[in-house]
């Protein structure tokens, strides 16, 4: 049945307190309910055991809790877990739990589908349906934190916004979600353990730099040569490298946070010394490091992982120039949970 009840988690704490005052109750009741909604992540009003039955019914009559539901959980042979997450309107996104010896990282989605058009990414083939709300982002994190406690006996330690969608095209809700995740009234996680990954939207990078944010920024660069980048990430023609560079310099001047560049080396696309030299040059504009990530094939072989020798060439070139570089192995490939593979296949 369709209802027009409001999403209670769209209210701020102050609004919730005011609501209770208007109902002739105490403002403090708002604090209690707020705690249930965020810190305790209640899925329904009946779970709020220190709230009277009548009040719970009153809340039920006025509001809904649009909690996400993990519809399906897949486990990779390497321990990676992929959640298919159903939203209140029936749409589905995916999030991934990536365990290492010492950490559990949550890779969360920020949009249903994606509005960008990176030619090597499976998510780009899904139409962008809508932005996720702050609580839908928060819930993905809570679900993975619970799974980490259950299967790995430890809480979640890190979060990367590298799931479906372009976080900076939904930055308002992403920032609100991060506020909740880092607040003591939410999960109380350190913003230093959060990385937002973007294809590079210069205007928004500057905007969030102005907001004095404390999380890390990763940029999916993949090429530091405009023509090449535009051919694999067509929106680069709207946001060329010169603008991106300027925004990143601004980001560093404001946040003093080193930038991470994500980079895949593909056969015949960017596996040349010239391309590596261009990357070195780009890295010098602002303090940065490079993560070379393995390509996860999504199609008929239009894109192919470059030879190991090309990756080594990149590594040597970067290191020779004093730039930190790490080469990352893919995780969760067997369940289509690796970078660029999230496409709601199941
Ligand atoms: N939209 C954001 C976050 C999503 S993707 C962004 O672009 O940064 C996370 C990373 O995976 C990005 O660096 C993206 O470029 C990369 N990626 C996309 N498709 C890939 C694939 N098939 N194989 C490996 N990495 C891929």
Nearest partner of 166 among 66, 238, 235, judged by Cα:
235
Mutate to test the pocket of ligand 1, among 124, 161, 220, 296 (most ligand atoms within 8 A of CB): 220
The dihedral of CA 203, 241, 229, 94: what is its sign? negative
pLDDT tens-digit readout, 317-331: 999 999 999 998 888
Mean pLDDT across the chain, nearest whole number? 95
Q: Whose CA is nearest to atom 17 of ligand 1?
A: 340
Confidence of residue 275 (pLDDT cuts 50, 70, 90): very high
Residue among 178, 162, 185, 256 nearest 34 (CA): 185
CA-based nearest residue to 106, from 133, 63, 139: 139
Residue nearest to atom 4 of ligand 1 (CA): 162
Closest alpha carbon to 169 in 113, 241, 91, 232: 113
CA–centroid distance, residue 206 to ligand 1 (Å): 21
End-to-end CA distance of the chain: 27
Confidence of residue 116 (pLDDT cuts 50, 70, 90): very high
Q: Which residues are catalytic?
A: 94, 339
pLDDT surpassing 70 at residue 1: no
Q: How confident is the model at residue 3 (pLDDT cuts 50, 70, 90)?
A: low
Q: What is the pLDDT of residue 118?
A: 94
306 contacts: CB under 8 Å, gap ≥ 6: 265, 266, 267, 270, 271
* Burial class for 74, CB neighbours closer than 10 Å (0-12, 13-18, 19+): middle
Residue 103 CB contacts under 8 Å (≥ 6 apart), including other chains: 157, 158
302 burial level (CB within 10 Å; 0-12, 13-18, 19+): exposed
pLDDT band at 198 (very low <50, low <70, confident <90, very high): very high
Stronger pLDDT, 46 or 115, i.e. the higher one? 46
Q: Report which DSSP code applies to 202.
A: H
Q: Break the chain into its structural domains and give their ranges.
A: 6-64, 69-335
Whole-number Å distance, alpha carbon 198 to ligand 1 midpoint, is 9
Regarding pTM above 0.85, the answer is: yes
Q: 222 among the known binding-site residues?
A: yes
Residue 332 assigned ligand-binding role: no
Each residue of 11-45: pLDDT tens digit?
A: 999 999 999 999 999 999 999 999 999 999 999 99
pLDDT of residue 285: 94
Q: Could you give the percent of the chain with pLDDT greater than 70? A: 99
CATH topology of domain 69-335: TIM Barrel (3.20.20)
pLDDT value at 270 more than 70: yes
Q: Compute the average pLDDT of residues 113-140.
A: 93
In angstroms, what is the span from residue 82 Cα to ligand 1's centroid?
16
Residue whose token pair is 């300027």: 246
Local structure of residue 256 (DSSP, 8 states):
-
Pairing, β 63-64 against β 6-7: parallel
Residue found by looking up tokens 């209640």 in the block: 42
d(CA 148, CA 137) in angstroms, rounded, equals 17
| CB contact set of 308 (below 8 Å; sequence gap of 6+) | none
Q: Which atom of ligand 1 is nearest to the CA of 165?
A: 1
pLDDT at 298: 86
Q: Is the four-CA dihedral 222, 224, 226, 228 of positive or negative sign?
A: negative
Q: How far apart are CA 133 and CA 113, in angstroms?
A: 14
Predicted local confidence at residue 263, as pLDDT: 98
Separation between Cα atoms, residue 312 and residue 296, nearest integer Å = 18
Averaged pLDDT for residues 43-68: 96
Architecture of the 6-64 domain = Orthogonal Bundle (1.10)
């Amino acid at each position: 049945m369709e209802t027009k009840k409001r999403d209670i988690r769209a209210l701020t704490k102050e609004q919730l307190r005011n609501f209770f005052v208007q109902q002739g109750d105490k403002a403090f009741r708002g604090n209690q309910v707020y705690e249930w909604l965020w810190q305790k992540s209640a899925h329904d009003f009946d779970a709020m055991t220190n709230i009277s039955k009548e009040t719970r019914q009153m809340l039920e009559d006025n509001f809904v809790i649009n909690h996400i539901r993990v519809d399906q959980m897949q486990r990779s042979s390497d321990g990676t877990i992929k959640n298919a997450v159903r939203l209140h309107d029936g749409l589905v996104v995916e999030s991934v739990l990536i365990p290492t010896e010492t950490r559990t990282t949550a890779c969360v989605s920020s949009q249903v589908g994606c509005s960008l058009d990176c030619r090597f990414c499976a998510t780009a083939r899904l139409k962008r349906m809508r932005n996720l709300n702050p609580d839908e982002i928060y819930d993905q994190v809570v679900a993975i934190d619970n799974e980490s406690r259950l299967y790995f006996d430890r809480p979640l330690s890190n979060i990367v916004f590298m799931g479906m969608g372009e976080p900076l095209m939904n930055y308002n809700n992403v920032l609100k979600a991060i506020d909740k995740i880092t607040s003591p009234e939410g999960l109380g996680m350190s913003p230093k353990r959060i990385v937002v990954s973007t294809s590079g939207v210069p205007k928004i990078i500057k905007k969030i730099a102005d907001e004095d944010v404390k999380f890390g920024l990763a940029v999916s660069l993949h090429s530091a040569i405009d023509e090449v980048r535009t051919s694999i990430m067509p929106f680069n023609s709207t946001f060329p490298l010169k603008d991106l560079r300027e925004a990143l310099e601004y980001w560093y001047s404001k946040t003093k946070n080193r930038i991470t560049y994500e980079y895949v080396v593909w056969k015949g696309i960017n596996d040349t010394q010239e391309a590596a030299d261009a990357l070195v040059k780009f890295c010098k504009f602002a303090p940065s490091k490079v993560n070379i990530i393995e390509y996860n094939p999504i199609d008929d072989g239009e894109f192919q992982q470059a030879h190991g020798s090309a990756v080594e060439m990149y590594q040597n070139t970067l290191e020779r120039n004093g730039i930190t570089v790490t080469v990352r192995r893919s995780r969760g490939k067997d369940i289509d949970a690796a970078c660029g593979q999230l496409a709601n296949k199941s």
